[in-house]
Chains A and B, each alone.
Chain A
Amino acid sequence: MPIGLIFMKWNELAGNEILAKYPEQVDITERNLMQIFNTHDLTGEKGIISLMVGTINIISWYSGPESNFCVILLLSLDDDPDDYEEALIELSQIIFEHLEEKAYIELFPKLFKKITAYPFLTSEQKIALMYSNKIKRSILDRLRDEGVILKADLDNWLQEQYSQDYGDLDTILFDLIQKGLIEIISVKNERSLLIFLVKDIIMFKVPPFNLLNNSSESGLPDKLHKSYKIDIENHFKEYVISEEENLQITEYLLNPDIYKIFNFLREGAKTKDNLMNLKEQGVEDFKSTLELLKKLKMLKTYIDGDGTEYNIIISDFFIDFYLPKYILKLLKTDYDNNLKSNEVLLKYLDLLESTHYSLKKKKGT
């Protein structure tokens, strides 16, 4: 488990200045800070390092020689720093977005809790976490419309959208590269690097297939199971995929209590007594979660003849990466209208093709 989180800045006059830390009692010597900074400084560029400083296990993100900020996560000896790398990038970006008036200080307890939980997140939660970042979402939206953009243009556009210090673009893009969503490549005769969308995030509600077939799977009494199937059928006949609804659901996936309850409900119908048992796992309030899920039409309560209430999901959620095959149409239009150079278009076709094969390889088909 992580021991503490420290945000510091190095400058020639003051040396290493701690700007925020959590928990308050977490301690690190000036000498240790200098060792961390020097290790970053030796690389000469922004990025992440992990190292042992004395008996302290550390992973640290450095903003680069222009600004000299470090976000340092102190770990226990048995922690693997790699488990926290993605989360540290994400967290560093959030800190950068909140530099004004030192707004990051208030966020520290929450950020520390978040990074501590990160290695235990499921893959759907990790995608949801990435998607919950509004700047990354904006970049994806723009790439969905254009396929490929100049990095310099993206930087200017983000500055217009979110003010000058929206964060560190390289850090933001690094996470998108790590997730395999984009590739950044230099193409002949282009005035800056180009960012290509090679995977997209697709999400929508789906029926809880594992509970549908019969009452023994759903845990509902036979006569209620029939209504259950009809309700799901009716919901999905009318269902329209909505970005707004998706964002709401991804937010819930990232709430530990809601997610615990939702996963429990994924197993099948649960009575009030079943849900009360979640108290042993630290979930105090399940009622408000049931209401939230009902508002999203993801849950329904059925009442048996003897008055027993069964809570069961009528909708599950799907979120995954896909090859953006729709981009081909865009490339065709760009070609027909001379909107992009042939070099860029050909490079993009190569990237789509290679991503297609690597996805197939991963799936083993």
Chain B
Amino acid sequence: MVKDKDSKFLKSINDLRDEIKGSNKTVLEANLYSSREEFVERVFELVMKKKIPRRKELKFE
């Protein structure tokens, strides 16, 4: 799972901007969400605040 830190998102924007402008920098694919579905899942996990791990055999604390 990609870490959804603001700094990582902003860094990806900057890297991609630099790449488009012709610098040697390349945005790291690993820092990007592969799809909208993955992003929605991530938001879901954040909202859930990990209170109820899904599809795993874990119990409430």
Contact = CB atoms under 8 A, between A and B. Distances in A.
A356 B40 contact: no
Contacts of B13: 328, 349, 352-353
Question: Which bracket fits the contact residues of A?
Answer: 20 to 34
B41 to A, nearest CB: 8
A233 B39 contact: no
Given A326-B39, A329-B34, A332-B32, A238 B55 contact: yes
Contact of B16 (A239, A332, A360): A332
Contacts of B16: 328, 331-332, 335, 345, 349
Nearest to A207: B52
Contacts of B20: 335, 342, 345-346, 349
Given A233-B59, A328-B33, A332-B32, A206 B4 contact: no
Main secondary structure, interface of B, reads helix
Contacts of B40: 202, 204, 241
Contacts of A200: 36
B35 interface: yes
A352 B39 CA distance: 15
B52 A325 contact: no
A318 interface: yes
A291 B21 CA distance: 58
B44 A335 contact: no
Contacts of A346: 17, 20-21
B17 A206 contact: no
Given A233-B59, A331-B16, A356-B6, A207 B51 contact: yes
A236 B40 CA distance: 15
A324 interface: yes
Contacts of A237: 52-56
B36 A144 contact: yes
A349 B17 contact: yes
B52 A232 contact: yes
Given A202-B43, A237-B53, 15 more contacts: A200-B36, A204-B47, A209-B51, A212-B60, A233-B52, A237-B54, A318-B47, A325-B4, A325-B39, A328-B9, A328-B16, A329-B35, A346-B21, A349-B17, A356-B10
Interface of B: 4, 6, 9-10, 12-13, 16-17, 19-21, 27, 29, 32-36, 38-41, 43-44, 47-48, 51-56, 59-60
> Closest 5 interchain pairs by CB?
A326-B39, A326-B33, A329-B32, A236-B52, A326-B36
